[in-house]
Amino acid sequence: MAELTCKYQILREVGRGSYGVVYEAAVTATGLRVAVKRTRCSEPETVEMALQEFWALRSVQSQHRNVLRMSECLLQTGPGLSSVQAVSHQRQTPRHLLLVESCLKGRRPCAGDDAVSLWFVTEFCDGGNLNDFLLAHSPDPRLHRHVMQQLASAISFLHRNQIVHRDLKPENVLVSQGESGPELKVADFGLSKVCQGNVNVNQHRFSSACGSDFYMAPEVFEGRYTAKADIFSLGILFWAMIEMITFRDADSKKELLGIYICQGKNLISVGEAMLDNPNLELHIPIKNKKSMPNEVCVLILDMLALNAKERLDAFELEKRIEQLCYGEKRQRSGA
């Protein structure tokens, strides 16, 4: 811990969840603001999630402006940080990666033992998460297109690098305030998977069902899916964003963006409802036809296809969004 506080000055806590705490901090030498996330590795589940996040962020060899950038990851196995256990993003050697994994998985901490932790040092995002950002702003077609372009580009980049996020939702997208508007950063890679070997990310099969119910694709509930499950999640996100459809989280009581199907008094996720009723017809938009141009409706329907083989992949999605004139006036041809 002493080594960490020598390099970074912890300023304040900005977020807390079941798997860790996020702080705003400053680099002691330069004053540059960064985010420091501590994940306590006291349970097998948290160890696995910490390693998944580490491997995902570490495996991206080149950076994308819409994917959260990790500057370094520090391993704490006691009161301090040993230099040999400090894993820098620039020191990309198999020896360091194996050391991190063996240190975490080889130790069996007792309940309540917080000595083993991974500290992720990333860029700091001053605009909070996308859920809170969108709910604080009036609906704006230009903003919607801006969000769609950035997220499609980020997911295309991740899939190109064989990383499947598996938990895309507005809360897992951070916002930085830039001169030209909000810049989004896909974050929270604890449930992500890095596909090993030279495989087609859209054909690699996953068997563990995970994610957030209201954003999960139908096939994920059955535990048999590919990277196209990420596209379904983005389709739900885009739809909820444009129509500002929310629900109240039962645990946190917080207002969250998300699409759902009403079954009596119960709210059922779109993915689960489609799995129960393969003939379910999605009515897009739900609220107001003026809120969503027909070309955007068609795009979202193509993202939410029940059959994953008929669903857009990330590369097709990126091209389709670039061709949209959503929120912009079409230019007349031949003038």
Give catalytic residue positions.
167
Burial class (CB in 10 A: 0-12, 13-18, 19+), 94: exposed
CA distance 157 to 144: 20
Provide the Cα torsion 119, 121, 125, 126; round to 10°.
80
**CB 13: neighbour CB atoms within 10 A?**
10
258 Cβ neighbours under 8 A, 6+ residues apart: 169, 214, 215, 236, 240, 245, 246, 247, 269
> Phi and psi of 175, rounded to 5°?
-125, 130
Dihedral (CA of 138, 212, 18, 42) sign: negative
**Closest-CA residue to 268 (of 254, 282, 285):** 282
CB 87 within 8 Å of CB 188: no
